[in-house]
Amino acid sequence: MKMKAWLAAIGFCAAFPAAACTQTFSLGSMGPPDIAIFGNSYTSAQSFKDCYAFSLNATADAVGLVLQWDFSNRLDIDLLGVSLLSDTGTVLTTFSGSSPLFNFNNLLSGAYQLAITGQVTNDSLKRANGVVGYTGLLSTSSTSVAAPVPEAETLAMLALGLGVVAWSVRRKA
């Protein structure tokens, strides 16, 4: 069973350009409805772009939340943005780091990468060590489909049918 998970992770990593990501993790296969939790921590100053590969087995909407945490007196973390990339490396949409919430609508089945970008800075005047990081949640649900709008011909047939029913009731009376 573990061999399947490793092969899936290798397949996800190979499907995306690796040079753009600092680290790549696998969230596995997600089908609506599904939930995945992700995150990372840092002990030194650096810029990062963490990528979380996942695949959808059906059309879905996705919503998520990313929260940063700081248990350090010396380091500081700033989340800069969340991006969704397709299996070809095309950026589908991006959200700024100013809001912890993000959503992606009408995602087709296939492979994707959720990219979290940010920066860990160091205050050289302070001597204490510590850890900073972020934690996130990605939830998928079935795509919501709007009710179809009736065509003009459909409304005309309905009116004609109601007229015939009214005429036959009046004729019987």
Residues 6+ apart with CB under 8 A from 57: 29, 30, 31, 109
Within a domain: 88: yes
Q: Which carries the bigger pLDDT value, residue 19 or residue 111?
A: 111
**pLDDT, tens digit, for every residue of 133-167?**
999 999 999 886 666 777 788 878 888 888 888 88
Within a domain: 152: no
Q: Could you give the 3-state DSSP secondary structure of residue 15?
A: helix
Q: Which carries the bigger pLDDT value, residue 12 or residue 109?
A: 109
pLDDT given at position 10: 39
Within a domain: 170: no
Within a domain: 171: no
Within a domain: 130: yes
95 confidence band (pLDDT: 50, 70, 90) = confident
84 confidence band (pLDDT: 50, 70, 90) = very high
CATH of the domain at 24: 2.60.120.380
**pLDDT, tens digit, for every residue of 17-50?**
444 899 999 999 998 999 999 999 999 899 999 9
What pTM, to 2 d.p., does this model score?
0.71
**DSSP state at residue 43:** S
**pLDDT, tens digit, for every residue of 55-83?**
999 999 999 999 999 888 888 899 999 99
Domain count, the chain: 1
Closest CA to 35 of 14, 71, 64, 55: 64
Q: Which domain holds residue 107?
A: 2-147
Within a domain: 71: yes
Using an 8 Å Cβ cutoff, are 54 and 28 in contact?
Answer: yes
Q: For 118, what's the count of Cα atoms within 13 Å in the CB-facing half-sphere?
A: 27
Using an 8 Å Cβ cutoff, are 136 and 25 in contact?
Answer: no
Within a domain: 165: no
Within a domain: 168: no
Closest CA to 132 of 72, 45, 67: 72
